[in-house]
Chain A
Amino acid sequence: MSALSLLPARRPVPGVFVALTLTLTIGWLVVLFDGGQLFNQSTTVSLLHVAAGLGLVAVGQTLVILGGSLDLSVAYVISLSTLVAAETMNGSDGAVLPAIGLVLVVSAGVGLLNGLLVTRFRVNAFIATLGVGLLLKGYLDNGYDGPAGATAPSLVQSLGYQRVGPVPVSFLLLIVVTAAAWFALSRTRFGHHLVAVGGDPEVARLSGVRNDRVLVTAHVLCSMCAGLAGIYLASRLGSGAPRVGTEGLYDLESIAAVVIGGTALAGGRGGVIGTVGGVLLLASIDAIFNQLEVDAFFKQVIRGVIIIAAVAVYARRAMRKAA
Chain B
Amino acid sequence: MSDSRPVPLLTLRGIGKSFLGVRVLDGVDLDVAPGEVHAVVGENGAGKSTLMKIVSGGYAPDGGTVEFAGATRTFRGPRDAQRAGIGIIHQEFNLLPERTVAENVYLGHEPVRRGLVDRREMLDRTTRLLASIGETTLPADARVGQLGVAQQQVVEIAKALALDARLLIMDEPTAALADHEVELLYGLVRRLQERGIGLLYVSHRLAEVFDLSGRITVLKDGRRVTTVDTADTTADELVRHMVGRELSSYYPDRAAPEDRGPVRLNLRDAGNRKLRDVNLQLRAGEVLGIGGLQGSGRSALARAIFGVSPFTTGDVTLDDRPVRLRSPRTAMRAGIAYVTEDRKGEGIVPRQSVLDNALLASRAVFAARSGRAARTVRVRELLAAVEVRGAGDDQEIRFLSGGNQQKVVLARWLALNPRILLFDEPTRGIDVGAKSAIHDLVRRLARDGAAVLMISSDLPELLGMSDRIVVMRDGHVAGELPAGATEEEVVALAVGTVREPVQ
Interfacial residues, chain A to chain B (CB-CB below 8 A): 5-6, 8-9, 186-189, 191-193, 195-196, 199-200, 202-209, 268-269, 321
Q: Which residue of A lies closest to B96 (CB)?
A: A199
Which of the segments B2-10, B103-111, B485-493 contacts the partner chain?
B103-111
A204 touching B98, Cβ below 8 Å: no
How far, in whole Å, are A202 and B398 apart by their CA atoms in the complex?
Answer: 16
- Chain B residues with Cβ below 8 Å from A187 are 116-117, 119
- Chain A residues with Cβ below 8 Å from B100 are 8-9
A9 touching B78, Cβ below 8 Å: no
9 closest pairs, A vs B, by CB? A208-B108, A207-B108, A199-B96, A207-B107, A8-B141, A203-B94, A269-B98, A208-B79, A187-B116
How far, in whole Å, are A8 and B141 apart by their CA atoms in the complex?
Answer: 6
A199 touching B98, Cβ below 8 Å: yes
How far, in whole Å, are A321 and B78 apart by their CA atoms in the complex?
Answer: 33
B139 touching A5, Cβ below 8 Å: yes
**Chain B nearest CB: distance from A181 CB in Å?**
15
Besides A203-B107, A206-B94, A268-B96, 11 new A-B residue pairs in contact (Cβ under 8 A), listed by A number? A5-B141, A5-B143, A189-B117, A192-B117, A196-B96, A199-B96, A199-B97, A202-B94, A203-B95, A204-B107, A205-B78
Interface size on B, residues (CB 8 A): 26
**Chain B nearest CB: distance from A270 CB in Å?**
9
- Is B82 in the interface zone, CB < 8 Å from A? yes
**Chain B nearest CB: distance from A266 CB in Å?**
11
Quick one: CB contact mask for B97-130 with A, threshold 8 Å, 1 for yes?
Answer: 1111001000111101001110100000000000
Interfacial residues, chain B to chain A (CB-CB below 8 A): 78-79, 82, 94-100, 103, 107-110, 112, 115-117, 119, 139, 141-143, 145, 159
A208 touching B82, Cβ below 8 Å: yes
**A187, A188, A195, A208: most-surrounded residue (chain B CB, <10 A):** A208
How far, in whole Å, are A205 and B82 apart by their CA atoms in the complex?
Answer: 12
- Choose from B78, B107, B142, B143 the contact partner of A196 (Cβ within 8 Å): B107
- Chain A residues with Cβ below 8 Å from B116 are 187-188
How far, in whole Å, are A5 and B142 apart by their CA atoms in the complex?
Answer: 5
How far, in whole Å, are A38 and B310 apart by their CA atoms in the complex?
Answer: 51
How far, in whole Å, are A202 and B96 apart by their CA atoms in the complex?
Answer: 10
How far, in whole Å, are A188 and B143 apart by their CA atoms in the complex?
Answer: 19
B98 touching A192, Cβ below 8 Å: no
- Chain B residues with Cβ below 8 Å from A191 are 117
- Choose from A6, A204, A269 the contact partner of B108 (Cβ within 8 Å): A204
**Chain A nearest CB: distance from B156 CB in Å?**
11
Q: Which residue of A lies closest to B141 (CB)?
A: A8
- Chain A residues with Cβ below 8 Å from B96 are 195-196, 199-200, 203, 268
**Chain A nearest CB: distance from B215 CB in Å?**
28
Q: Which residue of A lies closest to B115 (CB)?
A: A188
How far, in whole Å, are A203 and B103 apart by their CA atoms in the complex?
Answer: 12
- Chain B residues with Cβ below 8 Å from A207 are 94, 107-108, 159
B94 touching A188, Cβ below 8 Å: no
A8 touching B142, Cβ below 8 Å: yes
- Chain B residues with Cβ below 8 Å from A269 are 98
- Chain A residues with Cβ below 8 Å from B143 are 5, 8
**Chain A nearest CB: distance from B123 CB in Å?**
10
B99 touching A195, Cβ below 8 Å: yes
Asked whether A189 and B98 contact (CB < 8 A) given A5-B139, A206-B78, A208-B82, the answer is no
- Chain A residues with Cβ below 8 Å from B103 are 9, 192
How far, in whole Å, are A322 and B117 apart by their CA atoms in the complex?
Answer: 30
B117 touching A209, Cβ below 8 Å: no
How far, in whole Å, are A291 and B327 apart by their CA atoms in the complex?
Answer: 50
A193 touching B108, Cβ below 8 Å: yes
Q: Which residue of A lies closest to B139 (CB)?
A: A5
Q: Which residue of B lies closest to A184 (CB)?
A: B116
How far, in whole Å, are A6 and B139 apart by their CA atoms in the complex?
Answer: 9
- Chain A residues with Cβ below 8 Å from B99 are 195-196, 199
- Chain A residues with Cβ below 8 Å from B110 are 189, 192
- Chain A residues with Cβ below 8 Å from B94 are 200, 202-203, 206-207
**Chain B nearest CB: distance from A115 CB in Å?**
20
How far, in whole Å, are A187 and B141 apart by their CA atoms in the complex?
Answer: 15
**Chain A nearest CB: distance from B166 CB in Å?**
17
**Chain A nearest CB: distance from B495 CB in Å?**
25
**B108, B116, B141: most-surrounded residue (chain A CB, <10 A):** B108
Asked whether A195 and B98 contact (CB < 8 A) given A189-B110, A208-B82, the answer is yes
- Chain B residues with Cβ below 8 Å from A192 are 103, 107, 110, 117
Asked whether A189 and B142 contact (CB < 8 A) given A208-B79, A269-B98, the answer is no
How far, in whole Å, are A173 and B78 apart by their CA atoms in the complex?
Answer: 43
